[in-house]
Amino acid sequence: MRKIKSEIITMAVEELCALANYELPNDVLSALKAAHKKENVPAKNVLAQIIKNARIAKDEKIPLCQDTGTANFFIDLGRGVQIEGLNLYDAVNKGVSLGYKNNYLRKSILCDPLIRKNTGDNTPANVYVNFSDDDNIKITFLPKGGGSENASALKMLNPSQSWEGIKNFILQTVKEKGANACPPLIIGVAIGGDFSCAAKNAKAALLRKIGSKNKNPFYAKKEKELLKEINKLAIGPMGIGGKTTALAVFIDAKPRHIASLPAAVSIQCHSHRHKTIVL
Amino acid sequence: MKKLTIREILLNAGALKAGEPVLLSGTVYTARDAAHKRISDLLNKGAKPPFELRGAAIYYCGPAPAKPGTIIGACGPTTSARMDAFTPQMLENGVKILIGKGPRSKEVSDSIVKNNAVYFIATGGAAALLSKTVIKAGICAFKDLGPEAVYKLEVKDMPLITAIDACGNDIFNRQANNDQND
């Protein structure tokens, strides 16, 4: 059994908070640059600002976006690891508290949904744990802003509605709220599972690399189809019109109950910040 | 790109056309929905708002904290639609310039026309870049709201796009154009 001190987890999380908020992942930046090449003015100018922003943020360690988000963590906890000290949740939250305070990230979390009192350190984080067979801990941090989160949606479809029903729901969601979510968007879709896991799986689907192909050929085809149709909506960068409404669509399909067909759409903004560390 | 001061816009808001990019300079006040609610409550009670609304520019923004030695942290726009319910009242009370991101309701658009105002959008998620256009910043009101407090900002050449002009032309009000896709 490999022993890992909780302080190491806290330190790693603190560092992830800074790294993810200052630097866009390469695949996202490349996709934005490719979109910039294709677009015409004024969408082209908006993308140029977004690309320039990424450079300033990285060079000067300024958050890419003032909304440094809800702190989401997807953790693969190896069966060969024993954590010493604080439990995993407390170790992560301590890292978030330090990370957001020490790196001048915005604290956006309220104590109670109906009372406007800030927790002051951006905790609590959303921590999703999976178990792996490894002897390590893989921590992925996904800070997610309110604007894009507000555009996300979940629907319990009638199973007979099948793919067409799902597609219409996704397109309708993007059409209605996409312009508010800082396009070009990344779209995470979860089909199947149940009400609660569909929402989580849609968010987790956002973590795939842009340009990567779905392992299931059927869904790989559907991802292409959806991306094309979403871009046909011509919402464009920041909603001002253009060829690029989304950079990628990622579909996650899971077994479901015979009576239920849940579909969840997690909308992510162009400032698709995420970072992974393995301990 | 056209450089404009807030004063110049106040004198001739009608000259701006939807879609027109501008570099804006002058004083803007940040306010998100929590601050709007408080200002609205004050106005409803007949009390004085925390800053002069007549001729004011409101920027829908909740900045990240400033690092020591800097003026302000990252400070991009937030979704304007969250302020839609309050905006007509703000415009009726003299606010002339709105800055945010995303589409507005029909009520807001109508009120912009009625009050000869203008709605600009900034690029959401370009918050590091936009922070470079702030040359002075200080807290103005509702400090207890933290990032949602009202800040008074002095901006220089802030890159914006005219989204709804004083005639009601709206860049978000258009049909999806399939020709845009290849």
Give the tokens for residue A187: 């779209």
DSSP letter at A184?
Answer: S
Closest-approach residue (CA) in chain A for B120: A240
- With cut-offs at 50, 70 and 90, classify the pLDDT of residue B180: very low
Give the torsion through C-alpha atoms of A41, A47, A53, A55, to 10 deg: -110
Q: Is 90 exceeded by the pLDDT of residue B1?
A: no
Distance from CA of B96 to the nearest CA of A (A): 22
Helix axes A6-22, A88-102, angle to 10 degrees: 40
Q: Is 80 exceeded by the pLDDT of residue B146?
A: yes
Catalytic, B36? Answer yes
Q: Is 50 exceeded by the pLDDT of residue A259?
A: yes
Mutation test of the interface with chain B: which of A37, A50, A60, A66, choosing the one with the most B Cβ atoms within 10 A? Answer: A66
CATH of B2-170, one of 3.40.50.970, 3.20.130.10, 3.10.20.30, 3.40.50.300: 3.20.130.10
A179 touches chain B (CB under 8 A): yes
Q: Which helix (H) or strand (E) holds B109?
A: helix B106-114
- Using CB atoms and an 8 Å cut-off, which of residues 158-177 of chain B contact chain A? 159, 161, 163, 171-172, 174, 176-177
3-state secondary structure B12-79: CHHHCCCCCEEEEEEEEEECCHHHHHHHHHHHHHCCCCCCCCCCCEEECCCCCCCCCCCCCCCCCCCE
Query: What is the domain partition of chain B in residue ranges?
Result: 2-170
ipTM of the complex: 0.93
The answer to whether B127 contacts A66, with C-beta atoms less than 8 Å apart, is yes
Task: Give A106-112's long-range contacts (Cβ < 8 A, gap of 24+).
Answer: A106/A63, A106/A66, A106/A67, A106/A68, A106/B62, A106/B63, A106/B64, A106/B65, A106/B73, A106/B74, A106/B147, A107/B146, A107/B147, A108/A67, A108/A68, A108/A69, A108/A70, A108/A146, A108/B62, A108/B147, A109/A70
Query: A27 with A112: CB under 8 angstroms?
Result: no
Nearest to A232 among B19, B131, B181 (CB): B181
Q: Is 80 exceeded by the pLDDT of residue A20?
A: yes
pLDDT at B154: 98
- Whether this model's pTM surpasses 0.80: yes
Q: Is 70 exceeded by the pLDDT of residue B181?
A: no
Nearest to B123 among A50, A104, A235 (CB): A50
- With cut-offs at 50, 70 and 90, classify the pLDDT of residue B174: confident
Distance CA A142, CA A126 (A): 10
Closest-approach residue (CA) in chain B for A51: B126
Neighboring chain B residues of A57 at a CB cutoff of 8 Å: 74, 128
Residue A97's alpha-carbon distances to A11, A124, A196, A244, in angstroms, are 11, 9, 27, 36
Neighboring chain B residues of A234 at a CB cutoff of 8 Å: 176-178, 180-181
Amino acid identity, position B176: A
Catalytic residue among B25, B28, B36, B158: B36
Query: A7 with A274: CB under 8 angstroms?
Result: no
- With cut-offs at 50, 70 and 90, classify the pLDDT of residue B175: low
* DSSP bridge pairs for A246: A185
- Using CB atoms and an 8 Å cut-off, which of residues 70-99 of chain A contact chain B? none
